[in-house]
Chain A
Amino acid sequence: MSEKLVDIQNEKLSFFTPAGEVKALNDVSLYIRPGEVLGIVGESGSGKSVTAYSLMGLTAHPGRLTGGDIYFNGHHINKMTEKEMRRIRGNEVSIIFQDPMTSLNPVYTIGNQIREGILLHTKRSEKQANERACELLRLVGINEPEKRMKQYPHELSGGMRQRVMIAIALACEPKLLIADEPTTALDVTIQAQILELMMSLKEKLDMSIIIITHDLGVVAGMCDRIAVMYAGKVVECGTTDEIFYQPSHEYTKGLLRSIPNLYEKDHKKLVPIQGLPVDLLDLPEGCPFATRCPNCMKVCMKHMPEYTDLSDNHYSACWLLDKEKFMKKQRGALT
């Protein structure tokens, strides 16, 4: 498990809007090993979806990669043409979107939409593709697949639609599945079904999964590693246990403190993170979290902290963790 399936190095991505340059990603580095489940957590606007989309070459119009490299399974993603990208999309890497209500095409049948990817990427005939589609629907736990194939998205419930989305994503047995908030639009009992399904499919098909979510509960039960993002930067990354039991970045700590725990026996007050999320149009010079951080120091306002390694997997970008570098910078800041 040492080789990397995905390797994102110092990715920078901006959206050039009329209001100015929105710096969505600022120096994102991430990797995923084969067979691993990586969780990306963060608030809205932290760049978690943008990271995943750029991995599929799906950056929307005013957005442009302004630096860094993305490698996936031996491909150099940001050097590939659209034609080459198409061969990978839905074949080696697929994605499940957040809202199953809008991400299926309402004017095509379910069968048609599942078949599309199979016919495009494999040498199956129409009939074989149909059989494969039925098999996929059965795999994701949909009864009477032959009947469902002829139905349209509006005839299915939200949970069913998300299952269909998963079936489409898995049609060509991808090496990597990106799930962008796969259960946010669903009810908790349906969410439990979908998450369980994803985990069992991961075992069966031996793929890697990236789960993007803002729900720390979802990642706690599923992921091997977690990356916490804030203002277009991975502020902390480590194994699930490290993130939950030894959080080192102030933002991670704040997030963990601010969620109510169902199993708490007595009533404790929540400790919210103060202030507002950062404005990506006008990023501060130093650490983006500085203005909301309870332990903010002078150096934080001026200089971006570098990563400090806390273990083989665990690293975090905070000045509090690295006394030596901090002292050097502090002296520099003063003179």
Chain B
Amino acid sequence: MEDKKLVEVQHLKEYFPVKGERPFERKYVKAVDDISFYIRKGETFGLVGESGCGKTTAGRTILRLYEPTSGKIFYDGKDITHVNMLPYRRKMQIVFQDPYASLDPRMTVGDIIGEAIDIHHLAANSKERRDRIVELLSLVGLNTEHANRYPHEFSGGQRQRVGIARALAVDPEFIVCDEPVSALDVSIQAQVVNMFEELQERLGLTYLFIAHNLSVVKHISSRIGVMYLGKMMELADSYELTFHSVHPYTRSLISAIPIADPKTARAAQRIVLKGDVPSPVDPPSGCRFRTRCPYADERCAAEEPEWREVSPGHFAACHHLDRVKDEKPAIG
């Protein structure tokens, strides 16, 4: 793995306007509120969090599918926050969550993949186009004859393969994988996860892997960022994050994951968080997590915790890192 930053975001914010309670009142859903991180070339960066934490928005904003409210996005050292994205679409691609909704039901699989080739003029003639489609299909484990079929003729796992082939059609360097396996059955999930890993080895891809399932994210990622209500809570190497997490939210998230091992599951000390995630329209003052945090005190309500480097490459935002650190993690 090279040590070059391929993608970097600085103080990224993405607010969506919503109607307030009173007429003409404008409020904002702070979907992503000041996050900064970078992704090295050739690595997989995982983004986890519960629904509504802004992980998908972050992924889409990086691709400029949403215009960022403020902050900067860099790709390969160049600022792409306000540039024409067309040349970058060939380098940055996305695989969507729902393979049932993200493929046009009226287009054949060949045309779905071919569309990207047409837009970027990647094939000189129709034979070249056809060869490229066949090559892409075999790359994702589908057959040549699948090119003439429609999406409804495929199972969920196969459809997700089509979605991946479409993303690969332009020979990208960077792919945002937005919950690519959460709609699939467990036995199929493993097939698709393995395929992501093989493609990365073969094509030297860089991934931003977004998912709510920490087990999957930990399996595929080299570094992981944990988000809560639009803020980054903790960011570390995936091993470090799983076994030496310092943020109370990460710890409770890890302990909430059901363990597929009865003996460990019975012995495990669960930290069960109380209550629900607050609304991102009116997030709590100070630390966003304080309403559910077992360590919260007045300071957490008054001031927002600083984003600190706890150990090299391990960042966290919490006032009580020292107290949390002393306590034994749920596992380890």
Contacts and interface: CB of A to CB of B under 8 A. Distances in A.
Contact of B190 (A157, A159, A270): A270
Contacts of A255: 186-187
Contacts of A241: 262-263
Enumerate the 4 nearest inter-chain pairs by beta-carbon distance, A residue then B residue, closest first.
Answer: A217-B258, A272-B190, A258-B190, A260-B219
B186 A260 contact: no
A259 B50 contact: no
Interface string A240-252: 1100110000000
B262 A43 contact: no
Interface in B225-266: 239, 242-243, 252-266
B148 interface: no
B187 A258 contact: yes
B258 A221 contact: yes
Nearest to A213: B258
Given A259-B186, A260-B219, A193 B272 contact: yes
A160 B274 CA distance: 12
Nearest to B258: A217
Contacts, number: 133
Contacts of A323: none
A214 B292 CA distance: 29
A192 to B, nearest CB: 4
B189 interface: yes
Given A191-B256, A192-B256, A221 B262 contact: yes
Interface of A: 43-44, 157, 159-160, 187-193, 195-196, 214-218, 220-221, 240-241, 244-245, 254-263, 265, 267, 269-274, 276-277
Given A187-B51, A272-B189, 6 more contacts: A43-B185, A44-B185, A188-B50, A188-B212, A196-B270, A216-B260
Interface of B: 50-51, 155, 157-158, 185-191, 193-194, 197, 212-216, 218-219, 239, 242-243, 252-266, 268, 270, 272-274, 276-277, 292, 331
A293 to B, nearest CB: 12
Contacts of B190: 257-260, 270-273
Given A214-B186, A259-B186, A262-B214, A220 B273 contact: no
Nearest to B254: A262
A43 B156 CA distance: 12
B256 A263 contact: no
Contact of A218 (B158, B253, B258, B331): B258
Contact of B187 (A43, A189, A190, A263): A43
